Amino acid sequence: MGNNMQFLLSGLSIGGVYALVALGFSMMWSVARAANFTHGDIFMLGGVLTVAMFAAGLPLWAAAPLALVIAMVAAAAIERFLVRPFNKEANAIGWMLTTIAIGVMIESFATATYGPLPRPLPSPLAAEPIFVAGAGVFPQELLLPAVAVLAMLALYVFQRYTRTGQAIRAVATNRVAAGLMGIDADRITMFVFAAAGGLGALAGLLIAPVIQATTTMGLLIGLKSFMIAIISGITNPAGVVAVAIAFGVAERFIEGYLSTSARDAFGFTLMILVLLAFPQGIFGRKEVSKV
């Protein structure tokens, strides 16, 4: 029983990470029908930059926001210079290749400068575990799913009630028509990529005190989150967050009762099967292709 509670709690935590990163994929995909393929590296930067700047003597309250800003600028630059010029025609694949290339560069650059080993980040919320039904957990861990749900709700409110948010929805629905209504679709897209980068980096710096930040933590998290976004129906933020958190919990249980490799094998097989059963994702709606 205590074990199960432990699995549940840490599953919620990793699920929160998936949710934040996957939410970014969902946002990017909605407006651009493309994404920063190595969004996972933006997530990594959030954690790694905070640790590096904190180690360089910056106080935490300055290092964390600064890391967020740098990650967002990087995400915006990736959109402007690597996605936009390579996403001109339908079925374009250039953006995939350019963002993978930059991802490889970011990761190896970080590894060469920051070091290959995980480095810890102190946090007031990860100092003393609290106990829930016999399972120990850092408050920091529980912060993640809460932040993910809040981010999703904030996104909803933002898209519903602000001018920029409505412009985002317009671009997501019909880019050309949005352009004709005077919306600068390119700027909106860049803004969304930056915002998505911000959410990803936020997940990175929030999880850093729990798992210790490494430069290689982005690849797998980014990828799984992209797959989670796909199987949940990539343009549905609430669905993405729900599936991501459920997936995180399921993973922890499989890992706990079987093994780490079983976790990944199961997770992957599950995703393929879900995609077979729901081609548009669990909560996705079929895009009506206008002929």
Partner 1 sequence: MNVSPRMTVALTLILGVGALAFLPWWGTVFDSRFPTSFELRIVLRVMIIAIVVIGLNILVGAAGLVSLGHAALYGFGAHVAALLAVNAGLGFVPGLIAAVLGTAVLGAILAYPSVRVRGVFLAVITIAFGLVFVNILREWVSFTGGASGIPGIPRGELFGMRLSPAQRDGFIYYYVVLFFLALAFALQYTLLFSRYGRAMRATSQSENASRALGVSVIRTRTLAFVISAGFAGLAGGLFTYLSLFVNYESFQFNQSIQFLLMTILGGAGTLLGPLVGAVTVFWATVLLQAFEEWQTFAFGLMLLIVLFAMPRGIVGSLQDLLARRGARPRMRETSDWPHWTPELEAVIRPIEGRPDAVLKLEGLTLRFGGLTAVDNVDLAARPGTVHALIGPNGAGKSSVINMISGFYKPAEGRILLMDQDVAGTDSAAMAAAGVARTFQNTELFGAMTVLDNVMVGFHSRYQSGLLRTLVRVPAARWEEAKMRRQALALLDFVGLTDFADERAGALPFGHQRRLEIARALALQPRILLLDEPAAGLTHGEIEDLIRLISLLAEKGLTILLVEHHVDMIMAVSDHVTVLDYGKVIAAGTPRQIQDDPRVIEAYFGHAAPGAEARAEAAGGTVDVSASAANRGAAE
Binding site for partner 1 (CB under 8 A): 34, 37, 82, 86, 90-91, 93-94, 96-98, 100-105, 107-109, 111-112, 219-220, 223-224, 226-227, 230, 259-261, 264-265, 267-268, 271-272, 275-276, 279-280, 288-289, 291
Whose Cβ is closer to partner 1: residue 62's or residue 273's?
A: 273
Report in angstroms how near the CB of residue 277 gets to partner 1 at its nearest.
Answer: 9
Report in angstroms how near the CB of residue 37 gets to partner 1 at its nearest.
Answer: 8
Q: Dihedrals φ, ψ of 280, to 5°?
A: -95, 10
How many whole angstroms separate alpha carbon 19 and alpha carbon 147?
9
Whose Cβ is closer to partner 1: residue 73's or residue 265's?
A: 265
Report in angstroms how near the CB of residue 187 gets to partner 1 at its nearest.
Answer: 23
Whose Cβ is closer to partner 1: residue 89's or residue 128's?
A: 89
Report in angstroms how near the CB of residue 8 gets to partner 1 at its nearest.
Answer: 24
Whose Cβ is closer to partner 1: residue 125's or residue 275's?
A: 275
Report in angstroms how near the CB of residue 130 gets to partner 1 at its nearest.
Answer: 32
The long-range contacts involving 252-257, CB below 8 angstroms and separated by at least 24 positions, are 252/7, 252/8, 252/10, 252/11, 252/14, 253/4, 253/7, 253/11, 255/7, 256/3, 256/6, 256/7
Report in angstroms how near the CB of residue 2 gets to partner 1 at its nearest.
Answer: 26
Whose Cβ is closer to partner 1: residue 5's or residue 282's?
A: 282
Whose Cβ is closer to partner 1: residue 131's or residue 268's?
A: 268
